[in-house]
Amino acid sequence: MNNRPLAKVEICPPRWAVLRTGPLLLLTGALVVFAACQSSGDDNETDVARGIVIVNAPAAGEVRRVFVREGMTVSAGAPVVEIAVRTETPGGVPPPGPTEDPQARARRGIATAQEGIEAARTEVVRTEVEVQRLTPLAASGDVPQAQLDGARAQYERAQQQLRRAQASAQDAQSGLVAARQQPQQFPNSVATTPSPSERLVMAATPSAGTVSAINARVGDRVTAGQPLATLRDEQR
């Protein structure tokens, strides 16, 4: 009987299998990256799916007026924040594009103020109805007195907001009177010093909802795209 040891046999993968392993690993890595990107895109749409709407600043400038408050219900297109955008034009050269007439700007300010009054008046009516509803319920003990007190506090804040909106409308009307009294600018007149130019832009709500947070106050400097307010879309 032959007692010689058996020779050790090593099985190696074919050369073509080794060459194809690299591309297979690259393909697997690409699929993993693609899946991660898809997951990130889904996360970016989470706020929209939950009915959260962000109102961003359309341009950089200074906040002049805030028309809403937390807890206030607004309609689509309602004004949220008014921003004054200032530019310096040396030599009195007007900025590119048509120059806005001061009277037209003042009239637009009046229209914006009227919208603010309507929104504030709607809130006053809503809170007043709530107070009237809770008053007999609190008297009979069906609802706690604290709930009625909270409704009354909201009603008082709504009245204050309405008074502020009415004051803004009066200021806008005064601005129109002042604009009418300003001398007309002639095309041949040339200024010798830089003339400041200011235009007012409005950040409005893209959809109806309830204001849950306000991130801007009068006098704040904001940048283009900066979040100004957050809404809850109750329809979602």
Report the C-alpha gap between 102 and 195 in whole angstroms.
15
Residue 63's pLDDT is 93
Task: Please report, for residues 84, 98, 108, 208, the alpha-carbon distance to residue 219 in angstroms, rounded to integers and kept in the order given.
Answer: 10, 27, 21, 26
Cβ-based neighbour number of residue 127 at 10 Å: 20
- The per-residue b/e assignment along 212-226, b for 16 or more CB within 10 angstroms, e otherwise, is eebebeeebebeeee
Domain extents in the chain: 51-232
Residue 189's pLDDT is 39
Top mean pLDDT of 20-29, 97-106, 144-153 is at: 144-153
pLDDT range class, residue 100, cuts 50, 70, 90: low
Q: pLDDT tens-digit profile of 115-163?
A: 888 888 899 999 999 999 999 999 999 989 999 999 999 999 999 998 9
Report the C-alpha gap between 69 and 66 in whole angstroms.
8
At which residue do the structure tokens 């804040």 appear? 157
Helix residue spans in the chain (DSSP H): 15-44, 46-49, 102-140, 145-181
pTM of whole model > 0.75?
Answer: no
53 three-state secondary structure: strand
Strand ranges of the sheet holding 61-66, from the earlier edge strand across to the other edge? 195-204, 79-89, 61-66, 221-222
Mean pLDDT computed over 105-117? 82
Whether 194 has a pLDDT exceeding 80, the answer reads no
Whether 190 has a pLDDT exceeding 70, the answer reads no
71 forms bridges with which residues in the sheet?
none
Residue 182's pLDDT is 64
Contacts of 235 (CB under 8 A, 6+ apart): 51, 208, 209
Mean pLDDT of the chain: 74
First-to-final CA distance of the chain = 87
More confident residue, 217 or 233: 217
Say which range, 17-31, 52-66, 103-117, has the weakest mean pLDDT. Answer: 17-31
79 forms bridges with which residues in the sheet?
204
CATH topology for the 51-232 domain: OB fold (Dihydrolipoamide Acetyltransferase, E2P) (2.40.50)
